[in-house]
Structure formats: C-alpha cells, structure tokens
C-alpha cells in the first residue's frame, strides 16, 4: 500500500492555515490562564510551559498528521521527530510521548500500524524518551503523531519572543520538504531519490548534544520551522519579539532536488496560504529568485530550528551546531521594528 496515495494532504502541509486558525481562536472566550501556565498559545509559540518550581518547567505539546511518505516505519520516525521538535524548540528535553493514531481497520493491516509505531519508538529511544501509551481510533484516513512532555530548567527556557536587534538568525536544517513531498505524491520523484530529505526529517532537533551550558545565554529566541514555513514561523517570532527580521535568500540551505521540483511547480496548498498569512507584513526585493521566494513559503515537516543569537557568538555557534546539523547557516538578522515585519533580500 502506498500511504501517500491514501490521503489528499501529507505531513505539516496538511495543517490548518495560520490565518484560518487565528480566526477560529479569536471567536473563543478563553478564561484567564493559570498563573503557573507561563506560556500558552498567545504568541503561537511551539509548546506550552507550566512552572513546576523556581528551577524547573514542564513542557507540553502535540503534533500529528497524515502520511508524508509511503514507508510505514519511515512515516513513524518522521512523525515522532516532528513532535519531539517542539520540546527542543523551547530549550527542553523530552521525557515521554503518547501516541495519537487513527487508521482504517478494514483496509489497513496490523503489520503496517506496528511498523509505524516501531519507527516512532526508535526515534523516542534516540531522544531518551519513552512511549508511555496513547489512543487509537478506527477512521477512514490514517493519521499518526505524539503528545510529548518535556522538562527544562528555568535558566535554559527559550521562547520565540526574545529576538534582539542586532542578532543573527541561524537555521539548522535545509529547506524544501514541502515541494519534495509534493513531488513524491505526484509521482515526479521516487522515495529512493529523496534520501537527503528523509535523513533531515528524521534528524532530531536535539541541539543540546553539540552545545555547552555557557553557550545557552547567547540563544535569545528560537522556534522550529514546520508547516507555516520559514516565512510564517519567522513572522511569529518577529511579532512576538516586536522586531523585524531580514532574510538573505542566497544563504538558504536547500535539500537535494529542491531547485528541480520548485521549477516544476511542485507546490502544496500551504505554499499559497503561508504567503497569504505574511503578505501584508512582507517586503521582497525584486532581485530574489522566484524559486527562493517559493522556498520561503515552503511548508516544512520536521524542519530545523530558527535561532536568534548574539551576533558576537554566531560564528562559534554555527561551527558547534554543524557537528550535528551539517547544513546549519546564518540566513539573516534581527532589526529594530520597521514598517514591515519581514524582509526577504538577495
């Protein structure tokens, strides 16, 4: 069974558009949050943060989606890495996950489901976390993901709301999973041609493994780049931090075959909705290639970390991060709030 042919949309490209989600949330009368809930959905941060003590916080998040690849075990790995990413994006470390699984019991064999879960378990093990349980329903469309719990010390908590003018913007993974997976679903590319993208999506955003305690104060703000693309998640960081971000398109790291699939117009609906989401707050220089513009809006699945860092330590941090994230690059800078929130230049 080709899992990608059983669904209309796959991966983080299946997310509800950011503007539509904001419109829905605006209609809900939320009561004042518990004072210990220090971070909720107000700034579209990556996870919620609950204060356990003066020294430690609890991180909670969840993420699930429809198949983005045909291999069941690979789908489980990507889904798990993507869900765990939200905990890392808050500066934390995951401790356990709960599975979220919906699948058509009549048409899909038990072996396929077992492979998906086994893939997720292998990634959780790599992260030092357990699969502690979950919930499964009979549904017409396959969906899988995790609810993840993590912990973070109060001096290592990182949000998307503290980017400072003068900071450099670092991206830890190459871009292009949206267009590549669209090419896979349409038959333009085969799974064996996309090993670079699969390796990237399975790579945990565990930046802790290559940084030391003395490096953390230089990490001012952070978010992981997923379904809303670099544009959408960058916009949320700019808005939360009350700054403007300038991105240099020529410095974008790209996955193999991305130029080809972009030129062949392998797009998802999310390419369009991500552009619409930031359109009023975005300036694009005329010299930026159309392919790089499309890449800016490309919906990432298990994408990299966008980090706003102290400019004096940016080069050192890039060198350290490249040991684990070989495509790490400085892709822009933070400025005082200007007319627009985002600037895409060459």
Domain residue ranges of the chain, discontinuous segments joined by +: 3-17+31-153, 168-345
Annotated catalytic residue 12: yes
DSSP 42-111: TTT-SSEEEE-SSSEEEEEEEEEES-SSS-HHHHHHHHHHHHHHHHHHTT-EEEEEEEEEEE-TTTS-HH
Give yes or no for residue 33 having a pLDDT over 90: no
Q: Which CATH number fits domain 168-345: 3.30.70.3170, 3.80.10.10, 2.60.120.260, 3.90.650.10?
A: 3.90.650.10
Mean pLDDT of the region 98-119: 93
Tokens describing residue 79: 């889904």
Q: pLDDT band for position 222 (50/70/90)?
A: very high
At residue 13, the pLDDT reads 63
Give yes or no for residue 47 having a pLDDT over 80: yes
Q: Does domain 3-17+31-153 have CATH number 3.30.160.100?
A: no
At residue 32, the pLDDT reads 81
The pTM is what? 0.93
Give yes or no for residue 8 having a pLDDT over 80: no
Annotated catalytic residue, options 12, 202, 257, 266: 12
Q: pLDDT band for position 1 (50/70/90)?
A: low
> Do residues 57 and 79 touch, judged by C-beta distance below 8 A?
no
How far apart CA 183 and CA 229 sit, in angstroms, is 17
At residue 5, the pLDDT reads 74
pLDDT digits (tens, 9 = 90+) for 59-94: 999 999 999 898 999 999 999 999 999 999 999 999
Mean pLDDT of the region 321-346: 98
Q: pLDDT band for position 9 (50/70/90)?
A: low
């Amino acid at each position: 069974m080709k899992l990608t042919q059983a669904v209309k949309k796959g991966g983080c490209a299946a997310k509800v558009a950011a503007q539509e989600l904001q419109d829905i949330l605006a209609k809900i009368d939320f009561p004042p949050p518990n004072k210990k809930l220090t971070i909720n959905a107000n700034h579209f941060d990556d996870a919620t943060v609950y204060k356990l003590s003066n020294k430690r916080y609890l991180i909670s998040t969840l993420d699930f989606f429809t198949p983005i690849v045909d291999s069941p075990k690979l789908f489980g790995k990507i889904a798990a890495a993507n869900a765990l990413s939200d905990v890392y994006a808050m500066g934390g470390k995951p401790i356990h996950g709960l599975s979220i699984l919906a699948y058509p019991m009549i048409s899909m064999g038990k072996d396929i489901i077992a492979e998906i879960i086994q893939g997720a378990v292998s990634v959780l093990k790599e992260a030092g976390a357990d699969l502690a349980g979950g919930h499964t329903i009979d549904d017409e469309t396959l969906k899988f993901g995790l609810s993840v719990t993590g912990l973070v010390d109060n001096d290592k908590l990182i949000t998307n709301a503290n980017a400072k003018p003068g900071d450099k913007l670092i991206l830890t993974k190459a871009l292009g999973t949206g267009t590549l997976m669209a090419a896979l679903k349409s038959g333009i590319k085969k799974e064996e041609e996309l090993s670079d993208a699969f390796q990237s999506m399975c790579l945990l955003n565990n930046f802790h493994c290559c940084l030391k305690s003395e490096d953390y104060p230089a990490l001012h703000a952070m978010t992981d780049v997923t379904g809303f693309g670099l544009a959408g998640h960058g916009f949320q960081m700019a808005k939360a931090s009350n700054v403007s971000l300038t991105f240099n398109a020529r410095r974008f790291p790209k996955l193999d075959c991305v130029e080809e699939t972009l030129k062949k117009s392998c797009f998802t609906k999310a390419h369009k909705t991500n552009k619409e989401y930031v359109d009023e707050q975005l300036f694009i220089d005329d010299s930026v290639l159309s392919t790089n513009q499309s890449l800016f809006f490309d919906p990432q699945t298990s994408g990299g970390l966008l980090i706003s860092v102290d400019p004096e330590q940016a080069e050192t941090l890039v060198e350290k991060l490249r040991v684990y994230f070989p495509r790490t690059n400085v892709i822009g800078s933070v400025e005082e709030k200007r007319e627009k929130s985002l600037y895409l230049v060459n």
